[in-house]
A = this chain, B = another copy of it.
């Protein structure tokens, strides 16, 4: 096998856009697995108990991942110009995706930068998303994004409504509770923390109204919180149901035309 043919086969294995068959190539499945291990290590590394007990395992895995991703990065530079989108290697290397991969490689060899550098590795999650824009996931992604896009204004409006409600609830509770609890309700921004907790029905309970009037208003706020959940859910449900029907009608239409 000569170099040119090898380069074409590497390109088809590495670059999803150069692959003829549908789905991920075996090589890219390994890349996805590598990214998952990379992220798991970046997450676990922050925990002192894990570092103490599995320090050598972690360092070994990181070394292995570094070599794997360094080689993979090199291969991608080597075959970049086969993709008609890039006329020079440099054009490929400047893309945000390639730069991010380079940053991740650099964080491996700069331990002195501390844990903050490791956090960059979590950005590799976006690469899984990039690789996933294929096959059956691309269909589902389109459905989700179509539903969001088609109802963007309604969702924005319900967000504005939620924000108005939150501001109103925080202002009322500030007026009612600020004397009883100056620490928690002593200003509108402080009362906002309570309002978000309540309207999203999270309800940590670290800040709770104690006056009867405050509790009455808080009860009304909590009931409004149901609307805050019901409104976007209802909008999205309607949009999904609409998108599904449209997709079916399109298929039916194609089918009818095909038979004619």
Contact surface of A with B, Cβ cutoff 8 Å: 39, 42-44, 46-48, 50, 116, 119, 122, 125, 129, 136-137, 139-141, 143-144, 147, 153-154, 156-158, 162, 164, 167-168, 171, 174-175, 186-190, 192-193, 196-198, 200-206, 208, 215, 219, 222-223, 225-245, 248
Contact = CB atoms under 8 A, between A and B. Distances in A.
> Taking chain A's interface residues, is the majority helix, strand, or loop, or is none over half, making it mixed?
helix
Contact of A157 (B144, B157, B171, B197): B144
A227 B184 CA distance: 27
A47 B226 contact: no
A86 B125 CA distance: 49
B196 A204 contact: no
Top 6 A-B residue pairs of the complex, sorted by shortest distance between their CB atoms: A238-B240, A234-B236, A204-B205, A202-B203, A237-B237, A47-B187
A219 to B, nearest CB: 4
19 contacts: A43-B188, A47-B189, A122-B168, A139-B153, A140-B154, A140-B156, A144-B231, A147-B234, A201-B201, A202-B203, A202-B222, A205-B205, A229-B233, A230-B233, A230-B236, A233-B233, A238-B244, A239-B244, A242-B248
Nearest to A200: B222
A237 B232 CA distance: 9
A7 B244 CA distance: 51
Given A157-B140, A167-B122, A226 B232 contact: yes
A95 B7 CA distance: 52
Contacts of A157: 137, 140-141, 144
A174 B47 CA distance: 11
Nearest to A229: B226
A203 B218 CA distance: 12
A15 to B, nearest CB: 23
Contacts of A208: 204, 206
A166 to B, nearest CB: 9
Contacts of A204: 203-205, 208
Nearest to A202: B203
A236 B226 contact: no
Given A50-B189, A200-B226, 16 more contacts: A43-B167, A44-B188, A46-B186, A48-B187, A122-B168, A125-B164, A125-B167, A143-B154, A197-B202, A202-B202, A229-B233, A234-B235, A235-B240, A237-B238, A238-B243, A241-B242
A206 to B, nearest CB: 5
